Structure 1
């Protein structure tokens, strides 16, 4: 039971670190995308641990990985189009209005 509580603490700490980086004000879009991927990865580790602890099937993990890959590709495509349009990935280099 101690292992379970330690692993849950580690997963929650990973998620909170990623969330803290995402919420804080960074200048680059790439750092924000990397923090989102870190949160997705921490949630994936939590699901693997949860499903293996309760002996569930791992089919949901395949669907979760597909959705997270689509999210990553969408973020990279937005980053590439922003770099081509504005010349950099600074948030302050373009006007949102």
Structure 2
């Protein structure tokens, strides 16, 4: 932590800084969202709870009326990569 504080004050002699570019979260289409939800498995209401959105929002995504925003897309990306992840948080 001391190194971080020193770096924040302008002393970079004891730290190594490597730039890292975070990629944008992917866009998900209606069928993909439904597939991710079914992999958990969860209802639209439960998925909405996990993503902190309304059940109507998930319904709208799956009906292809709207698309998830950035934070929801990132969470869907994480769930898609490892469906067990969401089960760990729901305990």
Tell me if both proteins adopt one fold, taking TM over 0.5 as the criterion: no
Look at both structures and tell me which one has the larger radius of gyration over its CA atoms. 2
Please report the TM-score for the alignment, with normalisation by the length of structure 2.
Answer: 0.24
